[in-house]
Structure 1
């Protein structure tokens, strides 16, 4: 496509070239007449001699050789991670050691739409909202700790629907295997997480969990100033208030507004995708055994999109013993 401010359109180039080639004008005279440089006049007259009218169109600016172009094999890995794991450009880039903009271009070239435009279960494209999300982050570790409980059904012995399919899996789920109450605490600034698989969500359990979580954050050099929870009975109890103490401010979310505690809700989703439902476990003991490994990977090795590819440990140097 010709630039809007270009002195010559394809028709003008043709007239210039014909003046030189067919009418015998000197290139300098033709350049002055059409208001272009002598080099431009010679270029279009040479193309006219070689290709006639067909040579007056713009040529592709793409180089003949691109030695640093992303290989097809790496492009297939990018698309494979998008389809198999439903990762975004930034997370794929951190995993493969690429730049997020390069991954975005590859996904666009292969026709991969944004994850927000697809159904999580089927991957089919759906109508998406154009609402923009503005992320807020506290400036230092410990300024705010998000605390929440995730209820998760246990896997019956022999496996659930991921192993046997939906009909058999539903029958197995009726055996009364019970639930885990996963108590979570997430640092707002660093996304450092502390979680435990517990038997209930009673006030005594929540209070004891917070005491262990506070000790964990303290061991990483984090001084907790505020804690954010929902309005569950265990968090409104005197037991939990006593566990927090007088030095920590207790904040609560707005009723029926889980997005107020959005960072821990996002952690819950990551936990389900990358641990709870990541593979077909044969029993709950097998899945529970993998939980500490997931938590270590999340805190020390998993690059976070919100942290520009860094890990929580990168934002909490004392977690690795690098005291400063």
Structure 2
């Protein structure tokens, strides 16, 4: 017999007072009073167990928002784009002015049967990630295969910037050869500048170092002539070129959702559309949900003339303090740079080239302030003071 029924029996049949029943069964008098009120109003149903779940969820998202999540999931998948919880959260914030936590989105997708948990997958936190500090510090390159509608094979050559994941060049060919790599590389450097280094696998179109030959191929010759450092991954370890490998995976997923091209011209048109989407409109999780184009344009470009240590010395991450300032040291002296209290606690990237200082928003890539450091003053105000007349 439940405690509630025992208390009701003691009061209605044994004629105990509510206070006596509360003492006998170790409950509060207030709870006994509420129980009796429910019993008088509802009868025997008042003795049934009741759920303790809250009747209202202040953080529960609306049915309209849930439907929008499902719609975005479907639309992104149909376009061959990433449709994970973080991407959907970004689209909700930027395109629908709705803020929902990725964990909440993931939970509703799982409840709807649209995703399955995969606990066997290796967690992201276990990976050791390497990233160039500046655009053009390292370019990764690789090629992959894609069949045309008539059954013939084609090959897609890709160059990607290691720092920003910006797709520098994605081109279609019947077969990628050494001269083609040389030509595409020359076209890419003419458009984006000369990189400080390249990173590729050990394919013969990129290097002859494992072929037993003593000479260089045309790509290696051009790199040496331009002073570009050539780096190659370990054999059978594609993770070294993980960024270009990931680009190719994303590209193939996107191509799968389009009609199979009949020839190289149609394939190239598709690749141009993909590259535009990837660089300018697709938020990248590794870039704090900004686009590769914004990340590529946010910092000055590295060149072969500067060593890697010199390039890294020019980049510093910081957080604007509560007074709207950042502090840096020059020639042993601290200088405070005013950026405005409205930007307090904003994470920024500080680019230092001698006395030339640029402060860039870490998430959006927006230039916050550019100045020449006045070494005679400890504080660099937001606006230069007007000279006295």
TM-score (norm: length of structure 1): 0.69
How far does the alpha carbon of each residue in 1:218-259 deviate from its partner, in whole angstroms, 9 at most, with x for none? Answer: 4xxxx8444321001122153323433475433222212223
Match of 2:177?
A: 202
Match of 1:316?
A: 296
Alignment map for 1:1-324 (pairs within 5 Å): 11-20=2-11, 23-31=14-22, 34-49=25-40, 50-52=42-44, 55-59=47-51, 61-63=53-55, 68-71=61-64, 73-78=67-72, 80-81=74-75, 84=78, 85=80, 87-97=83-93, 98-114=100-116, 129-133=120-124, 134-135=126-127, 136-138=129-131, 140-142=133-135, 143-153=137-147, 155=148, 160=149, 172-173=150-151, 179=154, 181-199=155-173, 200-218=175-193, 224-237=195-208, 238=216, 239-245=218-224, 248-274=228-254, 276-281=255-260, 283-284=262-263, 285-318=265-298
User: Structure 1 residues 281 and 51, CA, compared in 2 at 3 Å: closer, same or farther?
Assistant: farther
- Contact 1:14–1:56 under 8 Å retained in 2: no
Q: Comparing both structures, which one devotes a greater share of its residues to helix?
A: 1
SS in 2 for 1:184: strand
| Greater Cα offset, 134-143 or 300-309 | 134-143
Query: How far is 1:16 from its partner?
Result: 4.4
Query: How far is 1:23 from its partner?
Result: 4.4
| Greater Cα offset, 226-235 or 136-145 | 136-145
How far apart in 2 are the matches of 1:59 and 1:268? 52
How far does the alpha carbon of each residue in 1:47-77 deviate from its partner, in whole angstroms, 9 at most, with x for none? Answer: 3442536644232524358785132642541
User: Structure 1 residues 321 and 45, CA, compared in 2 at 3 Å: closer, same or farther?
Assistant: closer
Runs of at least 5 residues in structure 1 that lack an aligned partner in the other structure? 1-9, 118-127, 161-171
Q: Comparing both structures, which one devotes a greater share of its residues to strand?
A: 2
How far does the alpha carbon of each residue in 1:197-217 deviate from its partner, in whole angstroms, 9 at most, with x for none? Answer: 254433233233334434544
- Contact 2:198–2:230 under 8 Å retained in 1: yes
Query: How far is 1:290 from its partner?
Result: 3.2
Query: How far is 1:107 from its partner?
Result: 1.0
User: Structure 1 residues 68 and 108, CA, compared in 2 at 3 Å: closer, same or farther?
Assistant: closer
- Contact 1:190–1:315 under 8 Å retained in 2: yes
Query: How far is 1:261 from its partner?
Result: 1.9
Query: How far is 1:26 from its partner?
Result: 4.5
User: Structure 1 residues 104 and 65, CA, compared in 2 at 3 Å: closer, same or farther?
Assistant: closer
Q: Number of aligned pairs?
A: 279
SS in 1 for 2:53: coil
Runs of at least 5 residues in structure 2 that lack an aligned partner in the other structure? 94-99, 209-215, 300-363, 371-389
User: Structure 1 residues 286 and 201, CA, compared in 2 at 3 Å: closer, same or farther?
Assistant: closer
- Contact 1:182–1:195 under 8 Å retained in 2: no
- Contact 2:73–2:88 under 8 Å retained in 1: no
Query: How far is 1:272 from its partner?
Result: 1.6
How far apart in 2 are the matches of 1:312 and 1:22? 78
- Contact 2:172–2:267 under 8 Å retained in 1: no
User: Structure 1 residues 83 and 273, CA, compared in 2 at 3 Å: closer, same or farther?
Assistant: closer
TM-score (norm: length of structure 2): 0.59
How far does the alpha carbon of each residue in 1:65-98 deviate from its partner, in whole angstroms, 9 at most, with x for none? Answer: 8785132642541553476457322223333445
The structure with higher relative contact order (CA 8 Å, sep 6+) is 1
How far apart in 1 are the matches of 2:223 and 2:262? 36
